[in-house]
Structure 1
Amino acid sequence: MRLKTIRTPLAAAAALLAVLAGAPAHAEEPEPVSGDVVTAPGLELRGEFDEERYDVWANVLGLKPHGGEETLVVYCIDIHTPLDTESPYTEGDWEESGVANLEQVRWVLFSGYPNVGAADLVEAAGAEVNPDWDDEKLEQVAFAGTQAAVWHFTDDWNLLKDNPVKGGNNGEDEAVLAVYNHLTEETGSVPDPSGFTVDLEGEESATFEDGRFGPYTVRSNAGPVELSAEGGRLETADGEAVESLNDGGQFWIVLDEGTNEITVKGNAQYDLPVGRVFLATSDEALSGDAVNPMTVGDSQKLILAQPREGEVPAEWRFALDTPESSEAPKPQLPSTGSSLTVAFAAGLALLVGGLTVIALGKRRKAADH
C-alpha cells in the first residue's frame, strides 16, 4: 500500500486557517479582540486568603468589542487589582498575564455559568432555586458561584462556608456556596484547543480481505470525527456505512470499481470556553487609536467565558494495491513510509456575541470599586 502525502488548504471555522504537513498542527490564533468594559450590580462575597478575611464584589461584567454590537462574557482573574472601566481591554497571552491554573479555570468556565444555564447550574450543584428570585437574581447567584470558583484557582481565594454572601438570607448563601463547591471539588482540566489533533492508525497493519482494506483506527482528542470519502466508501466491521467515529473507532475501505485511489476526509468540531485573557495594559490600549486610551497603569485582568467554536480537519489520500483475487493468500500491504503523513488545517474562531454576563472582583474597602 502506498500513501501519498498531500498539502491541501482546508477551510477552518470563520475562515481562520493554518496548514501544516506531517505532525498534527497547532492552530493559528485569531486576530486579537479589543473592547470596552460594561458592568452591572452583583453580589458581595465573603472569603479569605490564608485564613484572613477578604471580602470582594462579584459584579456582573461584560466586554463589548470595538466594531461589534454584542457583549462578550468575561470573568475577573485578578482579584487584587481594581477594574479600569475607562480604558479598553485587548486580548493577551495567558503567560503574559501571570495567572495560574489555566486548565482548571477552563474547566470551571466549561462547567459553570453561562455555559450551563443559571437554574440548571444551581440545581446541578444540589441547591434550590428560590421561586421568588427574578431572572436577574438567579443570574447573579450563578455568576457569583462561578466567579468564586475562578478566584479559587487564579488567586487562591476561598469562599467562606458560613454566610458566604453578605445579606444572602434569601437562599443566596446556600446556592452560591453549592455552586462554588460544585465547581471546585473534583475539578477536571480542559486543555488548550491548539493541542487538539486528528490522526489515523493502521497504514502498516491493514490487509485486504473480502474486497476491502483495513482496519484503520481514528485517533482524536477533539471529539467525534465526521468522515467522508472520494473514490470509494467507508464501512464498519459489519459492513455499515461510516459517517462519524469516536476516538478508537475503526473503518474499512472499499474502492470504487476501476480505481485504486481514495481520499478520506475527517473533521472534528468542538465548542470550548475560550479562556483568552484580556489586559488593559496592551499596546493597543495604550495607543492613540484606542476608543478610551489608557490613563492608568496596571488594571484587573479578565478571562473570556464565551464558547469558541473550532474544527480540526484532516485528509488522507491512499493509493491501494488490490490483489487480483481475493482467494490469494492475504498479503501484508507494502507501505512507502513507517508512519502515516497527514496534512490538515486547524482553526479556532472566536465567537463574538450572545451573552452579557460575567463577574468582576473588587476589594470591599477600595473607594473606586
Structure 2
Amino acid sequence: MHGRSGLVKGGIAVLAAAAAVLVAAPAANADDGAAQGKVIKGASTTGFSVDFGERQQPVATLFGLKLSDGSMLKMYCVEIDTDLSYTQTMVERPWDKYPNPKSPFTKNNTKLNWVLHEGYPAHDVKTLQSTVAKGGVTFHDGLSEEEAITATQAAVWHFSDDKNLLRDKPLPYEDADTTADVLAVYDYLTGSANTGIGQQPKPTLNITPAKADGTAGTRIGPFTVTSTGSITDLAAQLPEGAKLTDANGEELKTGDVKDGSKLYVDIPKDAKAGNGEFSLKATGHLDTGRLFVGQDYDKHPAQSLIVAQSEKAQVSANAAVSWTVVAPTTPAPSTPAGNNSGQAPLANTGVDASLPIGIGAALVLGGGAMLLLVRRRRSA
C-alpha cells in the first residue's frame, strides 16, 4: 500500500503572507516575444514529501502554468529554497539567464534536462515503469503517478540544487514499498544512463522583409517565411482583387505555406494607390526543459520553474505592403504649320515642293525674254 501523502510538513507551499506582497509586473516589461504565464491554483498534482536532511522535507509537485495564449504547461520547480508565487508573471528565459549563476543548475542543466525528457510526465507511468524495470527492478503494485512525480521532482532537485535523498528514509511519511518504488526511479534518472540533453530551440516564425512596396499591376515580393513550427493560419487585409501568390502567380492557401516559402502580393492593375498587410500564425512545441523565471524576480524572488511536458505554443508574424499607381502618358496631337484645313498633311517625300514652281517660273520668264529678242531682230 502507498503511504499517507496528505501529511505534508514544510516544503515548497507558498506562505499566504508572502504571496500577498507579490504583485505581478506589467506584461510590457517582458522580453519581446518571450512566452509568459502564471501558475494556476488547482492545476497542480502532488506527490509525496521527500527528505534531504537538515529538516528539509519539501513536497514534490507537478505545477500547471497557464500561458497568455491559453495553453497549459506542466512544470517542476528548480529553486527549492525559494517560495512559489501564484501572482507573479513567469517569463521564459534562456538557461544562461538563470537567476543565480552560481547555482548547481548552471553546470548540471543538461543532466536536469535529461531527467525531464526521460521522467514523468514526458513518459507515461507505464512506459517509465517498463524502462526502469529493464534494470532488474520489481515494482510493488506497479508505479503510481504520485511515485513517478516524486522521483522525477527529486531527481530535478538533485541537479538544480545539489540535493540528495536520505537513503535510509527518503520519504518520511510513506511505507517501505512506496519508498522502494520512488528510489528505483530516482536512481535511474540520476544514474549512469543520464547522458544529458542540451537546450532545445523554441518555436519561431519570421517574415522577411517586414515591409515592401511596388506598383499596381505587379507582384510585390518575395516575402520569405522561416519557422520551426507548422503554419496554422494565413490572413490578409488587401483590396479587392489583390491576393497572396507564389512566384508563378498561383494563389496560396494556409496549407501551402511552410518554412522557406516565398510569398508575393499580387496587386491588380486597376487598384488605387494604397497599402495592406498579411499575417501568419504557427504552432510549435514549447519544448520540455524550457526555463521560466519570475518577471519581477529582482524585487520579489519567485520560485523558477522548468517545463516537464512539451505543449503546443502559438507564435505569429506579419508583413506590410504598399503600392503606387503609375499614370499613363498620352502624347498631345500635333498639327503642321500653315495647315488649318483640318485635312491630313501631304506626305513628305524629301523633295521641296516649291522647286517645280520655281523652274516653271524661270521657264516662263526665260521664254518671254527669248520672244522679245526675236521680235527685236525682225524689226531690225
Q: How high is the TM-score relative to the length of structure 1? A: 0.46
Q: As a proportion of its length, which structure holds more strand?
A: 1
Larger radius of gyration: 2
Q: How high is the TM-score relative to the length of structure 2? A: 0.45
